[in-house]
Structure 1
Amino acid sequence: MSFTRTLRLVGGAVVAGALLFGAAPPASADQIRDDQWPLKAFNAESVWKVSTGKGVTVAVLDDAVNGDHPDLKGNVLPGTDVENGGSADQESRDDHGTSMASIIAAHGHGAGNSEGVKGLAPDAKILPVALPVEADDVPEPNSDNLAEALKYAVDQGASVINMSFGWSVLTEEEKQALSYATKKNVLLVVATGNEGVGHLDELTSFPGVVAVGAVDRAGQVWDESNYGPQVMLTAPGTLIRTAAASKPYRLANGTSDSAAYVSGAAALLRSKFPDLTAGQIANRLVKTAGLPPGQTGMKLPDPHYGYGFIRPLRALTNDIPAGSKNGPLKIPETEPAPAAGGASAPGAPGTGGDQASEHQDSGLGTFVIVGIAAGVLGVLAVIVAVVVRQKKNERNGPPPGGSGGFGSPGGPGFVPQQQPGPYQHPAPYQQPGPYQQPGPYPHSGAYHPQQGAPGTFPSAPPVQPPGQ
């Protein structure tokens, strides 16, 4: 998959050399901050004049977070490790959780916090919820801790939950936990994955979640971003500079980063519009998302872009009706629990409730009596028929030379059968080809770290995209 799409222009004007989403502010003296091209693309300085995410808690379900990192210190709550117990804010080895936290809520350091990494919602709080991790420092798929992690995050007051990982199969308990979060008005953000395939896993496809793909700084869909009809939004996901736990900073690609940027944007909106539901927050992100030029007639959501790439400043400042409670989110279906013994619970859909049960009980005797009478008459008819046949056979006797026994040719009740011809084999079964697994999917945001010192990553080609 390769897209050469640029972005829809604001007011129809093209500014030569402009970055994706908007013009860049003046360069900072700090190279790490300069490396954060999404902040320049989002025109973050203008965003922060409207909202900084203050008062919002974002749960990061991931590996643990280094809460002592100078760019995060003070913004990370203790959290919990759902497998081993204890807090989840003292990580020093695995980087992924710290990276996601820094995209969302890092505040930088130094004079005026002008140095280091800064998150999109620098005044939001991070609630780290540590899941078991694999060798490459990303959460282990299907580790049976997801339900516990979700419930903990909701009960601790998180209004946004970031899940930058893959989860191929959901248990019933996990589905119930996801539904619990949506009922509690929590926005669930999930990364689509990094294999470039048109196949999304169960977590990404679950009703009520915001599935996020990746675009690069030129506005093109990243060719390793998984896609499908469930994709709702896209966000920056290439050459992303973040804080880390095992070292000060790292540079990487992944839809993990894209999901974290959407979670950061959601934190900005939840701070600015505290009375909006999770669905209405998603609605503002969808209604202000950008689309490629010349594709205004595109059927939405597009499998690759969803409704488009996020534009946080527009989402914060545009006049957008709140809309329905659920917005673009699909709500998980709930099924009534069966009563003991497999019977439907009283009052459950389809049973008619207690009143219907009473009516069924009151009519039961009549049906039983009618049934018994019909059965008796049927038995009497059979007896009469057998007696008459037997008397007739006794008068006529068997044919000459025949045995006349039951089961013998010519005997009572025997019906000659047509001997079937040779068995005709059906057409040979066409075995379908082997199922093509869409590649290993241990984690939606598996990183591809870039080598070299900070600031040495390749520059993007000149582009002509839109403003905020």
Structure 2
Amino acid sequence: MSFTRTLRAVGGAVVAGALLFGTAPTASADEIRDAQWPLKAFDAEKVWKQSTGKGVTVAVVDDPVYGSHPDLKGNVLSGKNFTDGGTADHGNAGDHGTAMASLIAGHGHGAGESEGVMGLAPDAKILPIGIPALGDEVGDSTIGDWIRYAVDHDASVINMSIEGRFLSDSDRQAIAYASQKDVLIVASSGNSAKTELGDLASAPGVVAVGAVDKTGKIWAKSDSGKQMMLSAPGVQITSASAARSDYPYRRADGTSDSTAYVSAAAALLRSKFPNLTAGQVVNRLVKTAGLPPAENGLELPDPRYGYGFIRPLRALTQDIPTGTKNGPLKSPKVDPSAGTGGAPAGNGDQQASGQEEDGLDAGVLVGIAVAVLVVVAIIVIVVVRQKKNDRNGPPPGGFSGPGGPGFAPQQAGTYQQPGPYQQQPGGPGAYPPAPPTQPPGR
């Protein structure tokens, strides 16, 4: 079995779409929209006054997306289908990719876009990345290939509603590459009620997502683990379908759907706050997350809820301290010998944008040593000339210390990763967030 098939087989419960509720009769458009309970819970109309995700591209790593669906038309880019090398915007067999795309960037249709499925970030663009279906032997691409493609094609959020149990070193380097390029990866925890997350969801730099129901309570089949970051609606979720022309909608349970909602919330924030890093976007989601009343007092992050379920309106409107570049995300380690396929994007308080450094490399040390020797030689020559000419004091222009003006060799040292937030719980911008005082999504 190839790596791709193994990945998909392990993640099949997520990728295959969880629990479809049979074959429904044709429903009115109003019934479809009314069935989208997360929009009501999020108070989406108020959310969209703050942000609609405009200007943000979200990569959907999944089945190819049916870009001609009336609720998605115009919001789906061409992308790439890794099974045949073509585009990924003409999917009409698998439901899953189209469903995830619609939860993120569906815009509805009809008069006033009042019909069909509306995504949480309806003005975002979808970059579809088609990957082999469960049991499909076509293609030999990997998670690393899919992530790199998304990063290199201007996605700022990558939705991975798949369960990756096994990652190669190359896959991990691709995650680090995304982190260096300030691209946020959001991944499903899984639908098997396991108590340990797979490699993808638990990888440093990745946001692991669990599923909750209408009351905000964790879904019984949602996987859990110490790396869980956030949770979101994932029970009885209505979304678009590509598989049936007579009824182009579906209803499902799963952490795939909750992952799409977190990706959409991230798109809203990246649109409204374009100067925030990926980690700072997660910081806003984490600090405004909520818990059901019965779970107040949990030590956070909780292995089931993470820091709680997302509340996009609060994340968009509350006064939240910016925080450090990585926010609550751990920084992936980069193997310099492996290469990352692109130059690191420098930013502020980290060396090499996410690399952890144990000191200066040999080339830098040699360069410093040579420079110091040259400076010492110059000093010796100056001193000799001073004595010869019976002069005292520094040469013209002066030396302000070893190496002369403007030259200060760096000292080798260990890079210190920024620590967790320093605010006290319960204070302004506290981390972890204070217990919720309103119902889920409000």
Considering the TM-score relative to the shorter chain, is it more than 0.5? yes
- Alpha-carbon separation, structure 2, partners of 1:302 and 1:218: 17
- How far is 1:352 from its partner? 9.6
Pair 1:187-2:175 in alignment = no
- Alpha-carbon separation, structure 2, partners of 1:352 and 1:90: 50
Pair 1:85-2:104 in alignment = no
AA at the equivalent of 1:78 = S
Q: Residue 244 of structure 1 aligns with which residue?
A: 241
Q: For 1:30, what is the secondary structure of its paired residue?
A: helix
AA at the equivalent of 1:281 = V
The structure whose RCO (Cα within 8 Å, separation 6+) is larger is 1
Q: Residue 216 of structure 1 aligns with which residue?
A: 213
Pair 1:177-2:168 in alignment = no
AA at the equivalent of 2:103 = I
Q: Match for 1:152 among 144, 149, 173?
A: 149
- Alpha-carbon separation, structure 2, partners of 1:255 and 1:74: 27
Q: Give the root-mean-square deviation of aligned CA atoms.
A: 2.4
Matching of residues 408-419 of structure 1 within 5 Å? none
- Alpha-carbon separation, structure 2, partners of 1:188 and 1:77: 19
Q: Residue 119 of structure 2 aligns with which residue?
A: 119
Cα distance change, pair 140–174 in 1 and its aligned pair in 2 (3 A): farther
- How far is 1:337 from its partner? 3.0
In the alignment, is the contact (CA less than 8 A) between 2:63 and 2:132 conserved in 1? yes
In the alignment, is the contact (CA less than 8 A) between 2:84 and 2:139 conserved in 1? no
Matching of residues 53-452 of structure 1 within 5 Å? 53-134=53-134, 144-247=141-244, 248-293=248-293, 295-337=295-337, 353-354=365-366
Q: For 1:203, what is the secondary structure of its paired residue?
A: helix
- How far is 1:357 from its partner? 11
Cα distance change, pair 332–140 in 1 and its aligned pair in 2 (3 A): farther
Cα distance change, pair 284–142 in 1 and its aligned pair in 2 (3 A): farther
Cα distance change, pair 143–209 in 1 and its aligned pair in 2 (3 A): farther
Q: Residue 375 of structure 1 aligns with which residue?
A: none
- How far is 1:350 from its partner? 8.8
- Alpha-carbon separation, structure 2, partners of 1:94 and 1:355: 56
Q: For 2:210, what is the secondary structure of its paired residue?
A: strand
- Alpha-carbon separation, structure 2, partners of 1:214 and 1:140: 30
- How far is 1:299 from its partner? 1.4
Q: For 2:293, what is the secondary structure of its paired residue?
A: coil
- Alpha-carbon separation, structure 1, partners of 2:111 and 2:137: 39
Q: For 2:148, what is the secondary structure of its paired residue?
A: helix
Percentage identity across aligned positions? 61
Q: For 1:235, what is the secondary structure of its paired residue?
A: strand
In the alignment, is the contact (CA less than 8 A) between 1:141 and 1:166 conserved in 2? no
AA at the equivalent of 2:206 = V
Cα distance change, pair 294–243 in 1 and its aligned pair in 2 (3 A): closer
- Alpha-carbon separation, structure 2, partners of 1:314 and 1:141: 44
- Alpha-carbon separation, structure 2, partners of 1:336 and 1:276: 27
- How far is 1:167 from its partner? 1.2
Q: For 1:322, what is the secondary structure of its paired residue?
A: coil
Query: Deviation digits for residues 402-435 of structure 1, max 9, x if unmatched?
Result: xxxxxxxxxxxxxxxxxxxxxxxxxxxxxxxxxx
- Alpha-carbon separation, structure 2, partners of 1:193 and 1:296: 24
Moved over 6 A (4+): 139-142, 355-358
- How far is 1:169 from its partner? 1.1
- Alpha-carbon separation, structure 1, partners of 2:137 and 2:116: 30
5+ unaligned residues in a row in structure 2: which ranges?
1-27, 339-358, 371-437
Q: For 2:256, what is the secondary structure of its paired residue?
A: helix
- Alpha-carbon separation, structure 1, partners of 2:291 and 2:133: 36
In the alignment, is the contact (CA less than 8 A) between 1:142 and 1:168 conserved in 2? no
In the alignment, is the contact (CA less than 8 A) between 1:197 and 1:227 conserved in 2? yes
* TM-score scaled by length of structure 2: 0.70
Cα distance change, pair 143–226 in 1 and its aligned pair in 2 (3 A): farther
5+ unaligned residues in a row in structure 1: which ranges?
1-27, 339-346, 359-463
Query: Deviation digits for residues 48-101 of structure 1, max 9, x if unmatched?
Result: 111000000000001100000000000000000123111000011111000000
Query: Deviation digits for residues 150-203 of structure 1, max 9, x if unmatched?
Result: 111111110000000011111111111111001100111000000011011111
- Alpha-carbon separation, structure 2, partners of 1:46 and 1:96: 28
- Alpha-carbon separation, structure 2, partners of 1:186 and 1:265: 14
AA at the equivalent of 1:283 = N
Query: Deviation digits for residues 354-390 of structure 1, max 9, x if unmatched?
Result: 48999xxxxxxxxxxxxxxxxxxxxxxxxxxxxxxxx
Larger radius of gyration: 1
Query: Deviation digits for residues 229-262 of structure 1, max 9, x if unmatched?
Result: 1100000001000001112000000000000000
Cα distance change, pair 180–210 in 1 and its aligned pair in 2 (3 A): same
Q: For 1:268, what is the secondary structure of its paired residue?
A: helix
Q: Residue 7 of structure 1 aligns with which residue?
A: none
Cα distance change, pair 142–174 in 1 and its aligned pair in 2 (3 A): farther
Cα distance change, pair 352–46 in 1 and its aligned pair in 2 (3 A): closer
- Alpha-carbon separation, structure 2, partners of 1:41 and 1:331: 33
In the alignment, is the contact (CA less than 8 A) between 1:131 and 1:146 conserved in 2? no
Cα distance change, pair 143–112 in 1 and its aligned pair in 2 (3 A): same
